[in-house]
Amino acid sequence: MAQVQLAILLTSAALVIIGLYSAIFIDNIIKKIIGISFIEEGANLFIVAIGYKAGGVVPILMPGMDTSWFAANAAYPLPFGLVLTSIVIGASTLAVMLALVMVLYRRYGTLSTKVMLADTSKQEEYNE
Amino acid sequence: MNELIPLMVIVPLMAALLISAFSKFNKVTKIFAFVVAICLPLIPLLSNYGLHYFGGYQPMLDNVTGVMYHPAITYSFTFLQQIIIGAVGLLTFLVVFIYLTKYKKVSGPYLFLLFLGTAAVTAMILTDDIFHMFVFFEILALAQVGIVAASSIDYSYEMALKYMILGSIGSPIMLLGIGFLLALTGSVNVTDIALAVHTGLIDATSPVFLLSLALIFFGWLYASGLPPFHTIKSGIYSKAEPHGAALLQSFTVVSMISIVLIMFRIYSSLPIFEVLVVFFSILAMILGVSLALTQTDFRRMIGFLAVGELGFIGLGIGLGTNFAITAGLFQALNEIIITALLFIGFGAVVHATNEVDTRKLGGILAYHPKVAIMLLIGGLAMAGVPPLSGFQSKLMLVQASLSCGFPEISILAIMVSIATFVVFVKTYYTMFLKPKPNDLDLEGKEVPRTMVFAMGVLLIIIILLGIFPDVVTSGISNFVGGIL
Amino acid sequence: MLEIVLCIIVILSAILALIQKDLLKAAILTGFSGGALAVLFQILLAPDVALTQAIVGAAIVPVFIALAVKKTQRSDG
């Protein structure tokens, strides 16, 4: 079952790398933001994979379960709790970024980062 | 009264939410914001030192290994937290006061952001839980972006979006670093992690541990605006309203010291950690001062100088002895107050002239002598002129680096201080002393009284800290003795 | 076996979303990736996280992006 964990770790690494690549090299701002959300998803997946226990059970204590058996077999729930917070934070950052993009689109009429986020001196030239 | 410890975070957080919900009642909002702002510096002064366990979960003793575990999110409140939260609270009060008197119709969302930022930095410096710190680090980034975007200065949205994009790359990377630490130790409590590292439960030379250092370090560089993020940091200072910038820089300083103290407690056994901190701090000092020299926008100039001052804090913590860390933390407290004074003072100049280009200014001294004199003292304090507070902390830093066996660093620190002095005096001369240009109209424009009042309060603190530094340094030294 | 298929879906839809010319399609593919991730969380024994991720990753995030695309422009370039 270690195969599962390996596959998950590789996936999260791939998501982080895809996200970093797009956040740095892609010119379109909305795609950049999509890429950033992939970095966040990769980090979340990694943290959930820490708590996973091969052949374990879901960490919810049902009535009738033996506590010592449960303690030995349940997955580690702390990382899951952290990821819940992190998912919500990611969504809210994404919303704020998209809102800023919508405002800036009205001013520039393009989604290109090179035009939108150039140095202020260059922006003044663009406006003139 | 240990019950006051969580209230330091809860009061500004609740105030932020209430103000944003009821912002259509203008008068009530104003009074409420004012009352909460007065409470902010008072709560830390009234509270007792101690620990607060959320949910009341006390630390548990593991009978097999004999190790204490901390299951709850822990807030630890000591002298350092008290003075830093007190300083940030006072600054928030002054900024909210300036804001409330400047505009007839207050904006609920803007006050929401100010209080949210204060709550976030308070939680960051109090917490003993690395993930809790990360959550408030993200909230702080959102609040900072909001404060920048809400200003009416040109291109503030662009700067806010740029900062946000960098931030949303930096914070998942920091989260990954926290994930690595969690995978190694199974805990997010800093005390537990530090204990596991120092007792040898974790191999301190393992690549995973080093990788977690690198990732969290990247997040720290972003949060504190050290190179390579110095340009964006000084950019957001110059694109925010001046009183907002005064608060933003205090957020930066507090988030910087809270993250670096946590990193210090975990990674202090790695020699590479201290080298990295000292390297980036020196880089920040040199780059900050030399870039400040070339600026013509004085808000940007102060922004770069503020980044350079951050380098001094990092230097003290990177040297790693008790005396050096005390000096670094004392410098942090001084920087919060001095830079706030400078931002508010230059904000008053913007208010009076509507001009930010130093080349188009001159002769303001005759029209606004109070502002000019207070700004001069603030600038001298930043450059480290006796007997002001900046001098005391920089002297301590120079002594610390000499006693650690790095005379080169102390010479460099002195040179950077002199360069700061030169940059400041040059700008001050062109703005206040040079003959007034003909097309500059200064007649009949008053500086708001609240701004002068705020500067006066900050100035008194600077002078008092300069004359009696022992009041603060002995307490900080005790705190540092506790974490070493 | 299911995990590996899901991993491949996550990565492929992420890459496809970033090479689309049409930004609306990119938004929908982001939702695919988020939804597959939610199932992965369920397999990793985290049902609470899976629920949150299913709502946020498969519904809210794509809708936000689609709204932003509607208010700006649909094609990349």
pLDDT higher than threshold 70 for residue A123 = no
Q: What per-residue confidence (pLDDT) applies to B11?
A: 93
Query: What sections of B47-155 are H helices per DSSP?
Result: 79-102, 108-126, 130-149
Shortest Cα distance, chain C CAs vs residue A102, angstroms:
6
pLDDT band at C1, cuts 50/70/90? confident
CB-CB under 8 Å, B182 with A47: yes
Q: What per-residue confidence (pLDDT) applies to C36?
A: 93
Would you say residue B295 lies in a domain? Answer: yes
Q: What per-residue confidence (pLDDT) applies to B364?
A: 83
State the residue range of the domain holding B421: 270-484
Q: Kindly provide the ipTM of the predicted complex, given to two decimals.
A: 0.92
pLDDT higher than threshold 80 for residue B66 = no
Q: What is the pLDDT of residues B320-339, one digit of tens each?
A: 899 999 999 999 999 999 99
* B246 CA to centre of own chain: 10
| Cα three-residue angle B381-B384-B389, rounded to 5 degrees | 55
Would you say residue C11 lies in a domain? Answer: yes
Q: What is the pLDDT of residues B233-274, one digit of tens each?
A: 888 998 888 889 999 999 999 999 999 999 999 998 888 999
* A56 CA to centre of own chain: 26
pLDDT band at A120, cuts 50/70/90? low
Q: What per-residue confidence (pLDDT) applies to B443?
A: 72
Query: What sections of B270-368 are H helices per DSSP?
Result: 271-293, 298-319, 322-353
Q: Is A6 on the interface with C (CB under 8 A)?
A: no
Q: What is the pLDDT of residues B186-243, one digit of tens each?
A: 888 999 899 889 888 888 888 999 999 999 999 999 999 888 898 888 889 988 888 8
Q: What per-residue confidence (pLDDT) applies to A128?
A: 39
Residue B61 carries which DSSP code?
A: E
Alpha-carbon dihedral sign for residues B50, B252, B422, B377 = negative
What is the count of structural domains for chain C? 1
Q: What per-residue confidence (pLDDT) applies to A116?
A: 80
Residue B1 carries which DSSP code?
A: -
Shortest Cα distance, chain A CAs vs residue B161, angstroms:
6
What is the count of structural domains for chain B? 1
Tell me how far apart the alpha carbons of residues A99 and C71 are, in angstroms, rounded to a whole number: 10
Would you say residue C40 lies in a domain? Answer: yes
pLDDT higher than threshold 70 for residue A126 = no
Would you say residue B472 lies in a domain? Answer: yes
Burial (CB count within 10 angstroms: exposed 0-12, middle 13-18, buried 19+), residue B34: middle
Q: Say which of B157, B172, B183 has its CB closest to residue A40.
A: B172
CB-CB under 8 Å, A78 with B164: no
pLDDT higher than threshold 50 for residue B173 = yes
φ, ψ of residue B406 in degrees (nearest 5): -125, 75
φ, ψ of residue B359 in degrees (nearest 5): -70, -25
Q: What per-residue confidence (pLDDT) applies to C77?
A: 63
> Residue range A84-93: average pLDDT?
92
State the residue range of the domain holding C14: 2-72
Tell me how far apart the alpha carbons of residues B328 and B337 are, in angstroms, rounded to a whole number: 15
> Residue range C25-36: average pLDDT?
92
Would you say residue B362 lies in a domain? Answer: yes
A residues 47-86 near C, CB within 8 Å? 48-49, 51-53, 56-60, 75, 80, 83-84
Q: Which chains touch B (3 or more CB pairs under 8 A)?
A: A
CB-CB under 8 Å, B158 with A120: yes
- Least confident range from B96-100, B154-158, B212-216, B417-421: namely B154-158
Q: What per-residue confidence (pLDDT) applies to C65?
A: 93
Would you say residue B72 lies in a domain? Answer: no
- pTM here? 0.93
Burial (CB count within 10 angstroms: exposed 0-12, middle 13-18, buried 19+), residue B441: exposed
pLDDT higher than threshold 50 for residue C62 = yes
What's the whole-number average pLDDT of chain B?
A: 90
Q: Which chains touch C (3 or more CB pairs under 8 A)?
A: A
Q: What per-residue confidence (pLDDT) applies to B65?
A: 77
